[in-house]
């Protein structure tokens, strides 16, 4: 997992009894015990149903994201920084529409010859749906790491190197079209969910990550308020959104996945401003 930080106006931070009933109890007593247990089970069932209902109000799953802010052609030059704001790499952001698909390519070039490149492909009609995503790292032209996800075939791959020995994984992933995103896809999703989130709604989505084996996890997205931040020598205002991984309690002992923080420009339209959190 790489934890970096990137923002668009010059820096970008990417920074789981024995109960003993008497064996010779009288039949009528057993009958009343049975009635009592049935009544208790009914209460438990009602309480469980109410808990599910209450949970639904806390984080509602979204089944399709209506495109309220269609994306078009864009070209920018972000920077990649560490969590302390130190610039690490110069970036280039390109976005265009071709064959009714939105294409996004983000490239970061480091002084030591390292290059990071993210590619993503989306459909914006009838709703926002991510179709492909990849992250590729090279050094002086030699591949170091590569992660890919094909949302249509529901397949993901990971390639890393340890002690110059390649390690590779290939997995089928549980993609829910219109609900599952990776990388910059979350920025587009937040832009189109912005109105719901700023009114206090919490929404469940699915995220594809790599540890380094491909994984799919549930995340809850929410609005964290409006922040002012100094970027490129000036103060800018942005809506702060939080992507929180829902890790099962028992898994939290073994796995730590930090929240991702994304800021979009305020007032709308909701353009990308800043990202802090893991990349893959």
> Which pLDDT tens digit goes with each residue over 239-274?
999 999 997 655 554 567 789 999 999 998 888 999
What does the pLDDT average to over 54-73?
Answer: 72
Using CA atoms of 230, 241, 188, 74 in order, give the dihedral in degrees to the nearest 10: -10
With pLDDT > 90 as the criterion, what percentage of the chain qualifies? 62
C-alpha span between 215 and 156 (Å, rounded): 9
What does the domain layout of the chain look like in residue ranges?
Answer: 3-15+61-278
CA dihedral 126, 218, 195, 135 (to 10 degrees): -70
CA atoms within 13 A on the CB side of 74: 17
Res. 37 pLDDT band, cuts 50 70 90:
very low
- Average pLDDT, whole number, for the chain? 82
Per DSSP, the residues of 8-63 read TTS-EE---------TT--HHHHHHHHHHHHHHHHHHHHHHHHHHHHHHHHSEE-S
Sequence-distant (6+) residues with CB within 8 A of 184 are 104, 106, 118, 120
**From the centroid of its chain, how far is CA 32?**
52
90-130: pLDDT as tens digits? 999 999 999 999 999 999 999 999 999 999 999 999 999 99
**Cis bond leading into 212, ω under 30°?**
yes
The rounded distance, in Å, linking the Cα atoms of 111 and 114 is: 7
Note the pTM of the prediction, 2 decimals. 0.77
pLDDT value for 252 = 54
pLDDT of residue 188: 97
Distance CA(123)–CA(160), nearest Å, equals 29
pLDDT at 65: 94
Q: Is the dihedral of CA 150, 156, 161, 166 positive or negative?
A: negative
pLDDT at 247: 78
How many CB atoms are located within 10 Å of the residue 104 CB?
A: 21
Please say if the pLDDT value at position 82 is more than 60: yes
pLDDT for 255 equals 63
> Would you place residue 84 in the very low, low, confident or very high pLDDT band (cuts 50, 70, 90)?
confident
Least confident of 26-35, 70-79, 127-136: 26-35
pLDDT of residue 195: 94
Query: Is residue 234's pLDDT more than 90?
Result: no
Q: What is the distance of C-alpha 89 from the center of its chain?
A: 24
Q: Are strands 60-61 and 203-210 parallel, antiparallel or unpaired?
A: parallel
Give residue 5's pLDDT band: very low, low, confident or very high (50, 70, 90).
low
């Amino acid at each position: 997992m790489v934890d970096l930080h990137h923002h668009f106006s010059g820096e970008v931070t990417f920074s789981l009894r024995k109960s003993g009933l008497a064996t010779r109890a009288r039949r009528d007593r057993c009958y009343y015990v049975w009635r009592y247990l049935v009544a208790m089970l009914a209460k438990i069932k009602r309480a469980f149903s109410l808990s599910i209902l209450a949970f639904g109000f806390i984080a509602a799953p979204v089944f399709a994201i209506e495109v309220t802010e269609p994306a078009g052609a864009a070209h920018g030059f972000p920077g990649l920084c560490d969590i302390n704001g130190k610039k690490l790499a110069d970036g280039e952001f390109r976005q265009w529409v071709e064959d009714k698909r939105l294409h996004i390519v983000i490239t970061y070039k480091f002084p030591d010859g390292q290059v990071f490149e993210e590619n993503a492909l989306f459909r914006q009609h009838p709703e926002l749906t991510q179709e492909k995503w990849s992250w590729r790292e090279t050094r002086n032209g030699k591949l170091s790491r590569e992660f890919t996800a094909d949302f249509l075939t529901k397949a993901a791959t990971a390639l890393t190197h340890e002690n110059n020995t390649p390690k590779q994984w290939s997995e089928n992933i549980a993609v829910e079209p219109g609900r599952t995103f990776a990388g910059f896809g979350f920025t587009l999703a937040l832009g189109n969910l912005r109105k719901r989130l700023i009114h206090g709604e919490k929404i469940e989505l699915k995220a594809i990550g790599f540890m380094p084996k491909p994984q799919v996890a549930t995340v809850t997205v929410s609005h964290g308020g409006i922040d002012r931040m100094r970027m490129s020598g000036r103060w800018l205002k942005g809506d702060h959104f939080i992507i929180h991984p829902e890790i099962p309690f028992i898994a939290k002992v073994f796995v730590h996945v930090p929240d991702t923080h994304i800021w979009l420009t305020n007032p709308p339209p909701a353009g990308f401003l800043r990202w802090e959190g893991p990349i893959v």
